[in-house]
Structure 1
Amino acid sequence: MADSLINQNKVPMIAITAHPTKYNGTQDPESWLQDIRFFCRLHGIDEEEDIVSFSMLKVDPMIYVPEKTSTFSGLVKALKSHVTYPVMEASALHNLRKLKYSSNMEMSDFISTFLSLCRSASVRNLEEQKSYLLNSLHDDNIRNILSTKFRNVDEFDWVIKIFQGILYEYPLHQIRYGSRITIKHCVTGQYLSHGEHKPIEPGSQSSRVYCNGCKPKENEVWIVTSPYSENKSPGDPVRFNSIIGLSHGKSRANLSASNDRDVLTSLGKDKSCNWVARRHTTESGYHNDNNGVWAIGDIIILEHVNNKLPLYTRAQDYEGNQEVVLEGDGFEENNKWYAEIIGQ
């Protein structure tokens, strides 16, 4: 009885309910037809021919659809054969290329927009989809991480899961002004360290720095600070090639360097306490590209601002400590370091 009432009331119910939008060539035909089919099913219209007949009434008159069209595939084919379809497709591709992810966006909204544009632009190849996802990122560093993660993935669902996971996790790994870090030498595994303040000469505010220990303790903790004469906001990420200061966590002395290339800590602060964190690359040692944010595990060169020389370690002294100086050209293995975060 209920079914017969629904069938009797098909037209009146459709007439009084908000209709799907008219197709005018600006939509993806398949998505638009899906909305029509849902609308019809909601009102008890199940026959394909009836749904197609109703759909044709919602197509703009400028778009030709043969009168004898009676199947979903035939309708979609007619809509795609009109000149508006390639224009819409090209527009979607243009917007896909411009699409950028921001940490202020909801991930679900971004992914939904991305998938919709891929469909409208007929981008179905997995490698192309990976490429557009990577291009949506502003940060070269995270783009490189994801590119490596994507390399052997052959399922789109996993691509999205990896994208989401890295984007959510990566900010926790970024080094920021105020971060408490250890600085580890890549070759030896020793940490940049500073013990009790022992002046290099009576009355001096400076004492020596060295590398020691394969397990970091309190003497190996450094705080990333604003450079001399600048005031960076605590919590802001440190971009590569930014000038920074490094304050010893326990003594609060600042990492500095003398004119004779000795690396020291100073209880005062001046331009000798300024350093540049440069990203290391296998091709060129280090370079001046300031894209990307310094993060855990990034191989870096710590370059002194005054003389442009990088941090370097030499042979162990008589106490088993590795001497730290300014030396090398950025290509040497002894110039390579990476950071580990103790806390933000």
Structure 2
Amino acid sequence: MSLTKYDGNIHPDEWEGGETSKYISNFRKLCYNAEIDVEEQKKYLYQSLPNNYFLTEFSKKKEKIKSTNELMKEFEEIVIDESNLIRYDSIIALKHVATGKYLSSIGKYYYSTGSGSQMVFASNLVLDRNGLWIIKINDTGFNNQELASYTDNTPIYLQHKNSSCYLTNCGRETKSPSTGNTEVCCNNYSAKWNFKNSKLENYQGYLRSNDIINLSTKYGGEPLQFLRSHELQFTIKNDTYQEVVCHSERLGGNDEWCIELVK
């Protein structure tokens, strides 16, 4: 029986008449025509899976599968789960949990104090183009579609989609406009960010859409600092913005962000 590898086209909105539906239909037809039992079907499906996540998850489930229908059901569940995982080069949004506003920046909108760099703030309750970020494994522009994880040894950079600048801790000597904490800005310096699941202690798995996370980074030899927002605002040219800062204090509710997969 000849079965091509599943190509990972997994968006649930595309299932009806999409590639996943076609793949399942083709798999069923090939198995029926070849008259093979479910144990052989499991072997063929395993060999066709595209990446380590599929292989690992299927290995956990395959022993309890007793029929073709169960096999397809487990495959569909893995597909749905995988569609919520975040890859490098995914477009994401970061919603501040306490206030419901999105981490944002606008090209050519600069702080009037501190570094004078492109400012970062928590914007509207409704996501717009200013709140879109790209998860990067490096700062070279190299495209890498691997799954992003919480492991400490993999650098994660956050590139603002519209301006192409990077989210950066500006160092403790550069004060934020409202509270005098460490300023957060966007510029060409690509700061490495560490992602930690705030609800699961020492979690080392993959990043998922709707995870609640803490983000931290270092500036040079300075101590680790965490990304925070709060309801305090600053004003530039008669417009007010909700402040985003870095700090090295105890973590609290203002340090939690919900990561949302956009694309």
Give how far 1:192 is off: 0.2
**Identical columns (%):** 21
Whether contact under 8 Å (2:169, 2:218) holds in the other structure is: no
When Rg is computed on C-alpha atoms for both structures, the one with the higher figure is 1
Map of 1:234-253 to 2, 5 A cutoff? 234-241=144-151, 242-253=154-165
Distance in 2, matches of 1:102 and 1:324, equals 35
Question: Which position in structure 1 is the counterpart of 2:18?
Answer: none
What runs of 5+ residues in structure 1 fail to find an aligned partner? 1-100, 117-158
Partner-residue secondary structure (3-state), 2:64 = helix
| Aligned equivalent of 2:227 | 311
Counterparts of 1:252 and 1:197, CA distance in 2: 12
Residue correspondences, number:
193
Number of the residue aligned with 1:264: 185
Following TM superposition, by how much is the alpha carbon of 1:320 offset from its aligned partner in structure 2, in angstroms? 4.0
- Does the alignment pair 1:341 with 2:261? yes
TM-superposed CA distance for 1:323, in Å, is 0.2
8 Å CA contact 1:310, 1:330 repeated in 2: no
Counterpart CA distance in 2 for 1:227 and 1:255 is 13
Which structure shows the higher helix fraction?
1
Normalised by the length of structure 2, the TM-score is 0.62
- 2:206 is aligned with 1:293: yes
- Hey, what's the Cα distance between the residues in 2 that align with 1:249 and 1:182? 10
Aligned with 2:157: secondary structure?
A: strand
Classify 1:114/1:243 alpha carbon distance in 2 versus 1 (closer, same or farther; 3 Å): same
Structure 2 vs 1, CA of residues 227 and 276 (structure 1 numbering), >3 Å: closer, same or farther? farther
Deviation at 1:167, TM superposition (A): 1.3
SS in 1 for 2:82: helix
For the residue of structure 2 that corresponds to 1:170, the secondary structure is helix
State the TM-score, normalizing by the size of structure 1: 0.49
Equivalence map 1:100-119=2 (5 Å): 103-104=54-55, 113-115=63-65
1:271-306 deviation per Cα after TM superposition (whole angstroms, max 9, x unaligned): xx2111111127x6xx4x4x2100101111110133
Q: Does 1:324 align with 2:236?
A: no
| 2:229 partner letter | T
Classify the secondary structure of the residue corresponding to 2:224.
coil
| Alpha-carbon distance in 2 for matches of 1:196, 1:106 | 41
C-alpha separation in 2, matches of 1:106 and 1:314: 39
Task: Indicate if the aligned counterparts of 1:243 and 1:277 stay in contact, CA closer than 8 A.
Answer: no
- What secondary structure sits across from 2:185 in the alignment? strand
Distance 2:168 2:130 in 1: 16
Matched, 1:275 2:187: no
RMSD: 3.5
Q: CA deviation at 1:115?
A: 4.5
Code of the residue aligned with 2:149 in structure 1: it is: R
Aligned pairs for 1:30-109 (under 5 A) are: 103-104=54-55
Residue 176 of structure 1 aligns to a residue whose secondary structure is: coil
| Matched residue SS, 1:292 | coil
Residue 176 of structure 1: CA displacement? 1.0
The amino acid that maps onto 1:250 is N
Q: Does 2:125 correspond to 1:214? A: yes
Q: Which has the higher contact order (CA 8 A, sep 6+)?
A: 2
Name stretches of at least 5 consecutive residues in structure 2 with no aligned partner. 1-51, 173-181
Misfit runs of 4+, over 3 Å: 104-107, 109-116, 159-166, 199-202, 230-233, 328-331
